[in-house]
Amino acid sequence: MIDLYYWPTPNGHKITIFLEETDMPYTLVPVNIGAGEQFNPEFLRIAPNNRMPAIVDHMPLERGAPISVFESGAILVYLADKSEQFIAQDSRGRVEVLQWLFWQVGGLGPMAGQNHHFARYAPERIPYAIERYVKETNRLYGVLNKRLADREFIAGGYSIADMASYPWIVSHENQGQNLDDFPHLKRWFEAIKNRPATIRAYARANSISSNTTLSDEAKKILFGQTAQSVNPK
Ligand SMILES: N[C@@H](CCC(=O)N[C@@H](CS)C(=O)NCC(=O)O)C(=O)O
């Protein structure tokens, strides 16, 4: 019913975690971003920003033509609304989830992403950039740790806000962070890690690719993009 355009990265894991928590049937459509498959015209029609994840729902609630969605936050909201799961149904609870979801997609994700980039992939070591993003990641971990001091999950019950944040905490060591400095975050992290749906989601990831290193060719594709990449002459 749902096609998930996917590659096993933190943003991809968000959606497999959701789908594994629900009974929604889905098919993984691998988009090998290291090989440039995100620039295939069929994919760009669904995901004009040439980033995965994206979905196509062939059975929308209103029926009619399939609905496609790109951006992991929008996908999570769409699926949560459709299934009426993992988002509160009242406006007070819903906005609680949404603000933390947006916090993740606008803050934790991009900052941790730049952290990975400068610490692991940049061709030269730039101490200012590394320190900038390690510190900002540290601040964001501190925000989440404080939030979790007096509650089990980020916003009410287990929700799409948790599913969006968890995959970005998985690589805490690569981000120069020590979870022992964040005891509430660590407790939350271990609880989500041990959920059967999370375990299944990461097992599916490994069935697509378990390669976490990038070839020089892949780095050129991923880190050399300009406007021309999505508007080839
Ligand atoms: N804001 C987007 C970010 C998605 C994103 O950055 N995806 C990366 C992998 S984690 C990607 O597809 N990269 C392909 C590329 O850089 O061309 C979302 O949350 O969905």
Write out the H or E segment, with its range, that includes residue 163.
Answer: helix 160-170
Residue 55 belongs to what H/E stretch? strand 54-57
Q: How far is CA 202 from the centre of its chain?
A: 13
Partner residues linked to 68 by β-bridges = 56
Q: Which of 46, 51, 208 to mutate for ligand 1's pocket (most ligand atoms within 8 Å of CB)?
A: 51
pLDDT, mean of residues 22-33:
95
Cα(47)–Cα(159) distance, rounded to whole angstroms?
25
Express each pLDDT in 56-102 by its tens digit: 999 999 999 999 999 999 999 999 999 999 999 999 999 999 999 99
Neighbours of 225 (CB within 10 A): 13
Least confident of 47-61, 81-95, 133-147, 214-228: 214-228
pLDDT of residue 83: 97
Confidence (pLDDT) at 232: 76
Average pLDDT of the segment spanning 145-149: 98
Going from the Cα of 52 to the center of ligand 1, the distance in angstroms, rounded, reads: 5
Q: Which residue's alpha carbon is at the smallest distance from atom 14 of ligand 1?
A: 51
Cα 230 from Cα 50, distance rounded (Å): 7
Please name the residue ranges forming H helices in 148-225: 160-170, 183-193, 196-208, 216-223
Summarize the confidence of residues 11-40 as an average pLDDT.
96
- 121: CA distance to ligand 1 center in Å? 16
3 state DSSP class of 2: strand
CB 115 within 8 A of CB 175: yes
Distance 109 CA to ligand 1 centre (A): 10
